[in-house]
Amino acid sequence: MHASELITEILRVLAAGLLLISFAMLSGRRTQQLITLFAWQGALLFVSTCLVAYSSGLTEMYYSAALTLLLKVIALPWILHRLIKRLGAQSDSEQLVNVPMTMLAGLVLVIFAFGLAQPISSMATTITRHTLGIALAVILLAFLMMITRRKAVTQVIGFLAMENGLFLAATSATYGMPMVIELGIALDVLVGVFILGIFFFQIREQFDSLDLHNLESLKED
């Protein structure tokens, strides 16, 4: 078998794995479990970026792969773990509304994403063009996850997962964004997490809980 064919096959498997993790996150109840899943998603992303870099011979991609490894597999999960430990929210779990229905909505989103990606991926020339649909689906699923959750930490994880999807979309459509933009996004994400972390403490101090449901009382009647 040809090496590039093999790589394409592996990339597809990895992309499918990413989608699988997205669904697992959609149905996961425990915060800690979600962070682990997020780290795994980063790891898969790292491997797939490395493979794309290898097959396309772009050195830049190796940098962005390394960035993924550092930020999404090591740094952010560590920060989040620390955060929930400090917040005392390790064993937090939330009541989900009707998991099967959410999953069904997720399925429909997947179909929609693929339908959307079809024209774009038929124009792209990258070896990862088939995974564009999956990348879009990962973004939409992360969005869905943010909608269905009420805890602050899980919202942040959803946000980060969405960024993963964006990254995958960029690599699959055009072999990644320019390095400057990527660095900028990485920094944004990092800063975003810090700021949100500070928000968590504020929220908890105000309401004695991290349930965003409490924020509803802030609106004017």
Partner 1 sequence: MRAISFVRQFVEAALAIAIAPLFTGWIAQCRAWLQNRSAPPLLQPYRMLRKLFLKDVALATGASALFRATPYVLFGTMVLAAAIIPSIVTDLPLARVADSIALVGLFATARVFLSLAAMDIGTAFGTLGARREMMIGFLAEPALLMVLFNAFLLYGSTSLPSLVDGYRAHLSVIDPSVIFAALAFVMVALAENARIPIDNPSTHLELTMIHEAMLLEYSARHLALVEWASSLKLFNYACIGFALFLPWGIATHGADGAGALLIAIAALIGKLTIAGAALALIESLSAKLRIFRAPEYLAMAFLLAVLGLLVHLLVGA
Partner 2 sequence: MANTLAVHDLRFMLFLVAAWMMLGFAGFLRPHSTRFVARLLFPTGSLLCLGIALLAGLFLASGQAAQVVVLPLGLPDLPFHIRLDVLSGFFLLLLGVAGTGISTFAAGYFRSGEGTAPALLGLGYHLFLASMAMVILADDAYLFMVAWETMALSSYFLVTSRHRIPEIRRAGFLYLIMAHVGAVCILLSFGVLQGGSWQFTFDAMRAAHFTPFWATTAFLLALLGFGAKAGLVPMHVWLPEAHPAAPSPVSAMMSGLMLKTAIYGMLRISFDLLSVRFWQWGALLLALGLFSALFGAIFAAVQTDMKRLLAYSSIENVGLIFTAIGLSILFETSNMHLFAALALTAALVHSLNHALFKSLLFLTTGSVLHATKQRSLGKLGGLIRRMPWVASLALIGTLSIAGLPPLNGFVSEWLLLQSFLFTPQLPHAFLNMLIPLGAAALALTFALAAYVMVKFYGVIFLGQPREASLVNAHDANWLERLGLIWLAVGCVTIGAFPQLALLAVAPVTGKLIGQTVRLSSTVWWIAPIAREQASYSGLILLAGILSVVAITFICVRLLAHGRIRRTDAWDCGYPWQTSRMQDTAEGFGQPIRHMFGTFFRMDRNLPSPSDTAPRYRVYIEDRLWRAIYLPIARGVQKLADWIGILQGGRLSIYLLYSFLTLLALLVFVL
* Residues lying near partner 2 in the complex (CB under 8 A): 107, 111, 114-115, 118
For partner 1, which is the closer residue by CB, 111 or 195?
Answer: 111
97 binds partner 1 (CB under 8 A): no
- Contact call for residues 176 and 45 (beta carbons, < 8 A): no
104 binds partner 1 (CB under 8 A): yes
Give the position of tokens 């979309």. Answer: 169
- Residue from 55, 64, 131, 164 in contact with partner 1 (CB under 8 A): 131
Name the residue among 172, 88, 102, 175 with its Cα closest to residue 140: 102
Tokens of 6: 């093999």
How much of the chain is in helix, strand and coil states, percent to nearest 5?
85, 0, 15
Considering CB distances under 5 to 8 angstroms, the limit depending on partner class, which of partner 1, partner 2, none binds residue 150? none
Length of the chain: 221
Name the residue among 199, 219, 221, 194 with its Cα closest to residue 210: 199
- Residue from 97, 111, 179, 191 in contact with partner 1 (CB under 8 A): 111
For residue 25, the minimal CB distance to partner 2 (Å) is 22
Stretch that binds partner 1, among 74-82, 103-111, 143-151, 209-217 (CB under 8 A): 103-111
Considering CB distances under 5 to 8 angstroms, the limit depending on partner class, which of partner 2, partner 1, none binds residue 1? partner 1
103 binds partner 1 (CB under 8 A): yes
- Residue from 28, 42, 133, 197 in contact with partner 1 (CB under 8 A): 133
The angle formed by the CA atoms of residues 160, 201 and 74, to the nearest 5 degrees, is: 35
Helix axis angle for 3-27 and 99-123, nearest 10°, is 150
- Residue from 2, 57, 95, 100 in contact with partner 1 (CB under 8 A): 100
For partner 2, which is the closer residue by CB, 115 or 178?
Answer: 115
DSSP code per residue over 129-167 = GGGHHHHHHHHHHHHHHHHH--BHHHHHHHHHHHHHHHH
- Residue from 27, 36, 93, 209 in contact with partner 1 (CB under 8 A): 27
For partner 2, which is the closer residue by CB, 6 or 107?
Answer: 107
d(CA 25, CA 126): 28
What is the binding site for partner 1 (CB under 8 A)?
A: 1, 6, 9-10, 12-13, 15-17, 19-20, 23, 27, 99-100, 103-104, 106-107, 110-111, 114, 130-131, 133-134
